[in-house]
Structure 1
Amino acid sequence: MRNLIVGSAWLSPIALIILWQRAPILGLAIMALSHAAWLYATLRANVQWLGPVITRFETNAREVWLTIDDGPTSDTPAILDLLQASRVAATFFVKGALAAKNGDLVRAIIERGNNVANHSDDHPSGAFWRLLPAEIARQIDRCNATLQSLTSTRPIWFRAPVGMKNPAVHPALEQRGMRLIGWSVRGLDTVRSDPADVATRIVPRAQPGSIIVLHQGRQNSLACLQRVISDLQAQGYAFVIPADERLKTKR
């Protein structure tokens, strides 16, 4: 599918030139549709057209995977206290540049029973979708190098900023033996400040095997995490970090 989308986007201008004299509307339609498919696959999180995106994990139990993006930040110690008190393990998708400045927080995440994964080096949220292959590779490699130096383990999971990915992302990940991690449910806690509102978006939609994404570093982050954890535990859910072989691409 990726080759079809990329190929049609590159070839559509040629089709437009060929058809311009006899059927210009058809030529324009072909070019518009091919580029629309490219943009949809790039900008729409969790769409599988450019390659596999992990959106859930296999389980026979009432389990979910909590993932926390955008750290490490000043609220990391409080979040770790909350997770430990709630008997919850989570995966922190961290920014390499922040990790390099806060190595003690990265090590604390690991020491407290959680793990870390790659969320790019400096999280170019407005530009990641249009970066060239060399810059995509740089974003991945710098974060990988930082995390490996701090934890002695090379990350195998990557989450793209804002979930966007262009055709260069999957080849870069495949070359590095990594997988693209999306999500099943999210609370939009980067734009919503009410923990109850965030929980309402997540808890009713959660299912066994769901990947939940929340964030840190914002005024409401700790309260949102606390509310979502409490509400899901009240419904009998346990929080686990699944093994890589349990990860699935289907919702």
Structure 2
Amino acid sequence: MHAPHRPPRHPHAWLPLLLLSQLLVAGIWWRWGWGVGLPSMLATHALAWWGVLAPGAALYGPVLARLPTQDREVWLTIDDGPSEDTAAILDLLDAHGAKATFFLVGDRAAARPELAREIARRGHGIGNHSATHPQAWFWALGPGRMLREIEDAQRQLTAIAGRAPRWFRSVVGHTNPFVHAPLRRAGLARVAWSARGFDAVQGDVDKVVSAIERDLAPGAIVLLHEGAPHGRNVEMIGRLLQRLDALDYRATLPDGDRG
């Protein structure tokens, strides 16, 4: 399955565009007054926030949200591990002949290195999901902290798995303007998703799987989680794999991630 791997080439291109937009707003305000100037300013600020909060927004840098294929293939991506669920999820994937990419948190992988190595040994992909998973504040991290979150995780995961991750997923999907410079340095491409069931917070297996199934299509990138407080992620992934088999979808990895 081909997936365009596109690390950012111009991670600071947003800055002159932002400055230009605010100069235009200032000119509009001066020429037509606050009645036009204020809505113009709010519109530019809303666009900037959309670029941060919308997981598939490419305002600040490239992002992959769907794979360019017409084959009945999907890319399963599992966030937030390693966890107590990892071993059971690996067994389920093996039982269904499915592959997945695990977007691991660096500190959690360092605490459970045997699980991270087992993911790689069984032929699955490992992606970078930050070093500490600062869920509440990732959207607001400055350039120094953002660099540490991404580069520390990259070093940790490379040392444990023996292979550098190629893909990055932002925490909670939020991507502020400071994400892409570290991605360029590390050769990482950002991945979003096109199918999700909110399985990190929703404990109803049927609702989660039904929501994902509604968005399935050739090339779908499916967002899944492990280790959620409701304790039902393993059951959800097992049920989803059954549905994929019934619908004749194959869960596979992008070409460059296949062992």
TM-score, normalised by the number of residues in structure 1: 0.90
The counterpart of 2:208, out of the listed 198, 203, 207, is 198
Alignment match, 1:216: 226
Alignment match, 1:152: 162
How far did residue 115 of structure 1 move? 1.7
Q: Distance in 2 between matches of 1:90 and 1:146?
A: 20
Alignment match, 2:242: 230
8 A contact 2:131–2:153 mirrored in 1? yes
Gaps of 5+ in 1: 246-251
Q: Please, what is the CA RMSD of the aligned residues?
A: 2.1
How far did residue 63 of structure 1 move? 0.7
The letter of the residue matching 1:122 is T
Summarize the alignment of residues 1-251 of structure 1 with structure 2, pairs less than 5 Å apart. Answer: 2-3=14-15, 6-8=18-20, 11=23, 15=26, 19=29, 23-218=33-228, 219-244=231-256
How far did residue 175 of structure 1 move? 2.6
CA deviation string 1:117-170 (max 9, x = no partner): 100111112211111111111110010000111122111110000111011112
Q: Distance in 2 between matches of 1:108 and 1:88?
A: 15
Gaps of 5+ in 2: 1-12
8 A contact 2:22–2:41 mirrored in 1? no
8 A contact 1:118–1:159 mirrored in 2? yes
8 A contact 2:77–2:102 mirrored in 1? yes
Query: Which segment drifts farther, 51-60 or 71-80?
Result: 51-60
TM-score, normalised by the number of residues in structure 2: 0.87
Secondary structure of 1:57's counterpart equals coil
How far did residue 88 of structure 1 move? 1.0
Displaced runs of 4 or more, over 6 A: none
The letter of the residue matching 2:241 is I
CA deviation string 1:175-229 (max 9, x = no partner): 3221000111111111211111111111122111111010000201001101111
Q: Distance in 1 between matches of 2:123 and 2:159?
A: 19
> How many residue pairs get matched?
243
